[in-house]
Structure 1
């Protein structure tokens, strides 16, 4: 006989209120909040990085000696780049630096890492090659200029031992001066490349190496077909850093020859500095700086795109 009675909550409760927005609205709100926190840092980076680049691009289109107002001359400074034999020589030297630092510091670093890999206490074998990296480029230039200058330490040692080429003018004749400066850069940079390659070798799993040895692979065959392909990620890093560093070479050249004698051993970075701050031709200096920036970024992107293309295909 008894019937269920409705509770006050049951009789008065209506449909649940709809929530404002949804997951999409909350995600957008979080993005707006995150953008608000990131905005100051992005603005600061934009001001410190892009504003000077844009101003340099503007100066490259002007005639400006640091006094008065820049005079707009269009692309005249870029035309002058390729008409000036000193700047063309600087471009050639920069190319030699890129090739030389890929062959010597990278190649020697790889050789040191491979020979030391697997040896007990291999770190101590690499340490003597790593120590020069702690010395600044200017200091390296000063050290090697003392060794290689006319009647310097190397010449005197070669004359004492009656070795050939003792009368070579190491820092005075081109391209010999560029080659010996690359050798100085090799002395400084081979150790850090060996360290990086050593890290890459340690990250390679042992199973493929052991399987290849079981199949009879040894020595050069083992390195070429197994080790080298598996070392590709670290090789990409080392070669990429080498390309960027060689394109911007300044300190060792300045410490050894300052681009001389005359201007035969200048790199683009040295030319940019001299045109801007010694010859007061800020327009031409800015054009060299912009050319160097475009070449550096373009070479880096081209290399990385080529190296990473196989990874994207998978």
Structure 2
């Protein structure tokens, strides 16, 4: 169990005053069985004329501010305190339906339809799906773990702060990609194999001296286990060192910031400052001390 203190600051500067269209912000961390949101505070400048809070179709907490007048900057600062609680990511009992690929989703099929759809598949992506399915003996859980490691081996990680994710074929061909690129690749290969998958944005723990960036990974739906995260850029199964913000069938559905402005011949510049501190939660520390004490008595 970990306790995260997160400060996520984003600023857009415009060469001329612009009219800001309504924005969508998915920067409020999830609060569910896997992570608990203790505190969240959002500051927006200029002051919005109004601000609505809603839950989107994928269950993401979404904030929608709208503005009046013209402005030459937009500044957002989100402060979050989150406790992550998954210490064993394999603590579940799979349903018989999850015994082999492709999974025969029955009752969940209508809801999972967007997470099983894929575009025309590149031969390299289809080949990778077939190769991993064979190595995993068709077992979905083993497939996800093997694919996670294989992508980690095939694709080195690079930093690319802006732009849409590359296509799965591009990422495989280049042999490198940003975290969002390999997350999209992972999800696509899963879907080709018949395993429902979605894209997730959020934060990951790291060493204090590291420069921090928004992170991305994928989640697969296993009957009996629900959504389970896999991070191919790190080669990890997601547990208590990740904080999820939003998820969706496509990367665009989990973008933290979505918005437009109106103006003529305007240049825009974005800067991001992300500060994350992560440490064992008090509950985890207490449990460790109790365990050590019992060991000494024995």
TM-score, length of structure 2 as denominator length: 0.27
Q: Which is richer in strand?
A: 2
Q: Which is richer in helix?
A: 1
